[in-house]
Amino acid sequence: MIDSLELEAAIAAVYAARLPIPAWWPAEARSAFIEEYASEAAGIVLSELDSIGDRVSDWAARSQVSGADKTTVIASAQQVLLDEACSEVQYDLNELIASKSAELMAEAVFDHGPPLRAAPRGVAGQH
C-alpha cells in the first residue's frame, strides 16, 4: 500500500528539482504551484493504481488466470499506464507553468497599485 502523504512529498521533491519553473518566480508562488500540483498528481496516481488493480482483477476472475500471472499482468499494466500518465502530466505541467508565468508577469507589470498623485500647486503646506 502506498502512503498518499509520502507519495505527495516525493512528487513535490521531484517537481521542485525538475520542473522548469523560472527562477524569477516568487518563492511563495513556486511553493504553492508545486504543492497544488503534487497533491493533484498523487491523487491521480493512487486513483489510477486502484483502477488498474480492479480492472485486472475483474479480467483475471473472468479468464481464470493464476495468482502469479495476475500479479505480473497487474504490474505490467500499472507500469504502462503510469508511464502514459507521467507523460501527460508533464505536458500539462509545462502548459501550466507557461500560463502561471504569464500571470505573474502581468501582475508585476499591472498590479503596482494606483499611481501616486501629486498635490495641486499651491495646496501643499497651506492651512
Put simply, whether the predicted model's pTM sits higher than 0.85 gets the answer no
C-alpha radius of gyration, the chain, whole number:
25
pLDDT per residue, tens digit, the chain (127 aa), is 678 899 899 989 989 998 999 999 999 999 999 999 999 988 888 888 788 777 777 777 777 767 777 778 777 877 777 777 667 666 688 888 999 999 998 888 887 654 444 444 544 444 4
List the chain domain ranges. Answer: 4-100
Report which residue type is found at 20: P
DSSP string, 6-49: HHHHHHHHHHHHHS---TTS-HHHHHHHHHHHHHHHHHHHHHHH
